[in-house]
Amino acid sequence: MPNKSRPSLLRRAIPAVFALAFGFATTTAFATTTTPSTTSTTTTKPAKTPKTAKTKTPAATGQLAAGQKFSTAGAAQATCPADTVVWASFTSTHSFHLANSKYYGKTKHGAYVCEKAATAAGYHQSKT
């Protein structure tokens, strides 16, 4: 009958095998011997330099400034009387719709803006 107070050889060997396989350090009852390597090929990568934070203007990010978005066409027309008022859709397409478009003022995410401001922010006229 096996002695229950002493763990079996397999039970003691399992943690050591995992430590060697995955590079973890554990304490085991086994002594391990290693032979020193005669050649060492260690390459080190140069340290990465931190990137400097750049401030982005609304035009560079494809976004319109808060003062350029209006909830009504009349408010937008008051700020740019010589320019055309368009409906800018704030989706990934970055497109704007003219007054004769069926989507003018109808999309869920958008606002009335001046056409020049929308073009300067990277928006383009929709094909529909």
User: For residue 127, which amino acid is it?
Assistant: K
Reported in sequence order, the residue ranges of the chain that DSSP labels E, i.e. its strands, are: 85-89, 95-97, 110-114, 124-125
> Distance (Å, rounded) from C-alpha 81 to C-alpha 75?
10
> Distance (Å, rounded) from C-alpha 96 to C-alpha 62?
12
Which structure tokens are listed for 70?
């209006």
Tell me the pLDDT tens digit for each residue of 72-116: 999 999 998 999 999 998 888 889 999 999 999 998 889 999 999
Helix-, strand-, coil-residue percentages of the chain, each rounded to 5 = 25, 10, 60
Q: What's the whole-model pTM score?
A: 0.52
